[in-house]
Amino acid sequence: MFKKRSLLLLVISLLSFLGLPLISNAQEKVTVYLFYGDGCPHCENAKTFFESLAKDDEYKDLFQLNALEIWKNKSNSTIADKAAVAMGDEALEGRVPYIVIGSKTWKGYSNKSNDALKEAIKNTYDDADFVDPLQDIVPMGSTSENSGNNVLPVVILIVAIALLGGTIYLARKE
């Protein structure tokens, strides 16, 4: 009787462990890439827009901002040029701001772009098949407050290991 119970607990634990990736694999946030120049007023306006959007209940869980300064940081400038070319645009050569959301790009920024930027965030977030073309080109720079929180997967992993360990302990005890 005890061996059947232990075996049942082990099977349930293993199934729970296998199902955890489905629970923890919540929709990933869209990375909004903002290449900017320190002192550029249009860049500051774009940063302010994204920072306020990061506090908006409708958008705060949909995206993370990856802002890289390219006028004073030559390494970031090189990365920005590679990113622009990867997106099918000409190298930036210091022209800012340059914004990438999903498969869409913006050269420059004005308040008139806000609705299109929001729409691009939502559409990219809703596209389950989207693969970020810049994920291997652009390292995560300074991000807004809503950048991804990696605590949940760690907690889930710890719980899964504890469940599995407890089940094995009970099985051996019997």
* pLDDT at 161 exceeding the cut of 90: no
Structure token pair of residue 36? 């900017």
The DSSP symbol for 27 reads: P
pLDDT band per the 50, 70, 90 thresholds, residue 144 = very low
pLDDT band per the 50, 70, 90 thresholds, residue 168 = confident
Structure token pair of residue 132? 């970020």
Helices (H) and strands (E) in the chain, counts: 5, 5
pLDDT band per the 50, 70, 90 thresholds, residue 149 = very low
The CA–CA distances, whole Å, from 112 to 10, 49, 109 equal: 58, 12, 8
Q: What is the mean pLDDT of residues 63-78?
A: 96
The answer to whether 84 and 91 are in contact (CB under 8 A) is yes
* pLDDT at 90 exceeding the cut of 70: yes
